[in-house]
Amino acid sequence: MNGPLRGLRVLELAGEFSAYPGKVLADLGANVIVVEPAGGSVTRSWGPFAGDEPAPEASLQWRHYNTSKRGILLDLGADADRERFRRLLVDCDVLLEGLATREVTALGLDPATFADDYPSLVWVSVTPFGRRGASPDVPTTDLTLLAGGGPAHSCGYDDHTLPPVRGGGGQSAHVAGSFAVASALTALLHRTVSGRGQHVDVSVDAALNVSSELATTQYLADGGIVRRQTGRHAMVDQTAPTQVEAADGHHVVLGFPPRAAEDYASIVEWIDLAGLRDDFPDVVLLELGVERGGVAVVELATDPLAREIWNASRDAMMLLAARLPAYDFFLGCQRRGLVAGFVASPEEAVADPHLVARGFATEVTDPYTGRVETHPGAPYRFSRTPWRISRPAPRLGEHTENVLKTGWAQD
Amino acid sequence: MVGPSSQADAGWPADRWAGSPSDLEARSTALRRIRVCDLSGQLAGAGATRILAAFGAQVIRVEDPATSGGWDIVRGAPPYNDERRGIEFGGSFNNHNTEKLGITINLRTERGRDLLTRLITISDVVTENFAGGVFARLGFPYERLQEIKPDIVYVSHSGFGATGPYRDFRTWGPIVQAVSGLTFTSGLAGQPPAGWGFSYMDHLGAYAMAIAMLAALWHRDQTGEGQWVDLAGVEVGLSLTGTDILDHHVNRRAPRSPGSVDSNRAGAPVMAPHGIYPALGEDRWIALACRDDADWARLADAIGEPWAADARLATLAARLAEQDALDARLAAWTAGQGGQELADRLVAAGVPASPVRTPAERIDGTPATPGWDLWPTVAHPDIGPARVEGLPVHLSETDWSLRRGAPRLGEHNRFVLGELLGVGEAELAELTAEGVI
């Protein structure tokens, strides 16, 4: 079975911001060759490492972000290898890179003129502040980009003596890389009609700026500035907590407070089932809520009883959350049609019964070490052309000889 | 596979906007041949079709007249641009649905389902983000879509996907983030999870949905084959935590407990110092990171105090071992300085740094990404002109364009149902009177 992008030729120059879009294309079936400099990409020096021993073949950063790719070594500072690079580029559909402008210039590539030599090439640049106008030497990391681009401002705790928080996992590369892939595919779909390629300029900072949801739309609408709040949406006004520590020390997340009569009936039934009626005298308010057919949001401003019922339902959910293990609370809510979640670590989440039933986790065996690697599986399930990891990440120069001999042909 | 595909002229229309009124027509030429029958909404769905609309695809949003489009909780919801309220005045809805056409169809009625069927016949893509299985129960499982149009690309997006024990569970962004590991991996040591403070997964889920549509269209262009793509937000979320999953599996680590994560510190690659420190002013902060020992030497130079010049801090291992003390020293140093001024000074010295920028600073201050036009103004018939999010990309030949605001409820019924589907005036009036549209 082949992915939807079978046959598409992608040349990726290894780097922090080209790796993820390269993986997305490769796992969707594209023929991706990742080019590393002699000695290997700097990203091979990034942990974590298999066995906690730093080594180019043990970088799990590399192992994860380079699945389904072939890998070659080229010294792009040397004429002979630059010529090899150019030969590959002539028959290539997509060039993916995140190099500094001076490095691109050294390769003889210029967005204004590359189409003369490579008329059908879609050239995608993913750089911190875009290729078109940014000063070339602004040093950045994932942390500084997320701080400047918006997400960190919305993230943290009610207690503002604690700093804003950067979400983990190298997300700046995912946000920008997603736009790189979507834009590359857009340019390819246009090429199908026009026959012409083009340059795609992606700014990581701009991508984060338009991926910060309410902080942005609030400001654009009325100039309001949202404030970070523990484990829930940053808002202009302080809101009630929605994240609760459950009986087992894990956390749950509540949805919008219930308001339908059947929701109130379910909560009353659950309170009794959990033996909490004596601990929660306000259960009578919920029973009133059942009798009056629920509470409408518009009544909250005018009807004091509606407000009391509404608050009682929130209190009941908080109590149930605190008295039950997190996962039991999640299932108990969802089976009663109440929106709720539990906070899982990635390592727990991948073993969740739902994901196991869907066969999500994907095992890849490295033929060199025999090591079995568990990766996240398909983010999208194509009925006809399934996503798949077609090979483990390449070892240093694993395909150099083969690619230089046979070019884009796949084994 | 270089150059125009042999399938390029295989019978798909070249331009979905041909003959349409110029005030409706898209400006971008990239995807003019694509029409999307879009039943999706909120941000997780609307954010995906928005990207295609910006590139010139004809995206037709189908909303429910019986509930005045209320299934999409963003329609008419805050924030607002002024004191006016109502279903046409939601600022986020305007942002998420810019450049789309809007029609109403009541799918509870047979005539409504017939209209949708006819719309699917002339579409390339069908999208929805109802809970798993809902669209099938409305009468449109994939098998039926295929009967209507054999090469249709159908993308469904729900929190838990179309199969599995949680299929019918209800979610929104923060729930997806919690269940998929992203909330857990965001926080400070000794504190509960911080989460993301917004629906991060609505954005990332939407981007995955756009990629799925475009990749499936590419395959259709090559082969003539359509297909169904089932997207589960939780799976998209987990796919963004790959190195954590791999690390725990390969190194057989026990699952982490709550409070053990400090995501302001560096994971991969390891760095120190690396964090968000106080700056001058109320609730002002600066992020800074030393990628290597040379960065530290530059920072120590900028600090210019004896403790920073201590040779024992010259190596990463030593700085990691003394990270708590180092962070406390740094915080004392940064706290008296303006965040932007200090960041400018450090960046000039070669050290990665940025203030934690407020929306006002990043949108109306000096843009970090220059010359981009990231906040275009669109025209909404009721709201008036309003700024929205642009796209963080520029294409040299077929760039995006956003100029029309979100559609009013049923605003384009006459154009889409009348012009595109050929429903006559009398029948349109009848459908309206019967509550079908």
The reply to whether ipTM tops 0.90 is yes
Does A236 map to a domain?
no
Nearest to B30 among A186, A347, A385 (CB): A186
> Do residues B386 and B377 make contact, with C-beta atoms less than 8 angstroms apart?
yes
* Calpha distance B68→B63 (Å, rounded): 8
Residues 6+ apart with CB under 8 A from A223: B360
Query: Among residues A343, A371, A388, which one ends one of the domains?
Result: A343
Do A317 and A365 fall into the same domain? no
| C-beta separation of A48 from B268 below 8 A | yes
Q: How far apart are CA A65 and CA A60, in angstroms?
A: 8
- Cβ distance A383 to B228 less than 8 Å, yes or no, reads yes
Residue A2 placed within a domain: no
**What's the CA angle centered on B339, arms B333 and B345, to 5 degrees?**
80
Q: Which domain holds residue A337?
A: 251-343
Active site residue B202: yes
Tokens of A204: 């990581």
Rounded CA-CA distance B376/A261 in Å is 44
Cβ pair A140, B288 in contact under 8 A: no
For chain A, report the end-to-end CA distance as a whole number of angstroms: 15
**Which among A343, A374, A389 is the end of a domain?**
A343
Which segments of B165-314 are extended strands (E)?
227-232, 274-278, 285-289
Say whether both A287 and A326 belong to one domain.
yes
In chain A, which residues have their Cβ closer than 8 Å to the Cβ of B178?
Answer: 251-253, 341-344
B115: amino acid identity, one letter:
L
Based on the fold, state whether residues A160 and A119 are members of the same structural domain.
yes
Q: Is residue A339 part of a domain?
A: yes
Which residues of chain B are modeled with pLDDT < 70? Answer: 1-10
Domain total in chain A = 2
Q: Give the C-alpha separation, A225 to A234, whole Å.
A: 9
Distance CA A181, CA A167 (A): 22
- The single residue of B72, B202, B221, B244 carrying the catalytic annotation is B202
Residue from B36, B223, B227, B62 nearest B143 by CA? B227
- Chain B residues with CB-CB distance to A344 below 8 A: 178-181, 184
Report whether B241 contacts B181 (CB < 8 A): yes
Q: What is the pLDDT along chain A (411 residues), one digit of tens a residue?
A: 689 999 999 999 999 999 999 999 999 999 999 999 999 999 999 999 999 999 999 999 999 999 999 999 999 999 999 999 999 999 999 999 999 988 999 999 999 999 999 999 999 999 999 998 777 789 999 999 999 999 999 999 999 999 999 999 999 999 999 999 999 999 999 999 999 999 999 999 999 999 999 999 999 999 999 999 999 999 999 999 999 999 999 999 998 888 899 999 999 999 999 999 999 999 999 999 999 999 988 888 889 999 999 999 999 999 999 999 999 999 999 999 999 999 999 999 999 999 999 999 999 999 999 999 999 999 999 999 999 999 999 999 999 999 999 999 986
- Look at B251 and A186 and tell me if their CB atoms are within 8 Å: no
* Same domain, residue pair A332 and A371: no
Comparing alpha-carbon positions, the chain B residue that sits nearest to A364 is B246
Task: Please report, for the domain that includes residue A171, its CATH number.
Answer: 3.40.50.10540
What is the third-level CATH fold of B35-239+373-433?
Answer: Rossmann fold (3.40.50)
The domain spans of chain B are: 35-239+373-433, 274-364
Cβ of B240 and A345 within 8 Å?
A: no
Domain boundary among A343, A378, A397: A343
Question: How many C-beta atoms lie closer than 10 Å to residue A250's C-beta?
Answer: 21
A339 and A364 in a common domain: no
- CATH level 2 (architecture), domain B274-364: 2-Layer Sandwich (3.30)
For A219-271, write each residue's pLDDT tens digit: 999 999 999 999 999 999 999 999 999 999 999 999 888 889 999 999 999 99
Distance CA A382, CA A372 (A): 25
Q: Are A355 and B235 in contact (CB under 8 A)?
A: yes
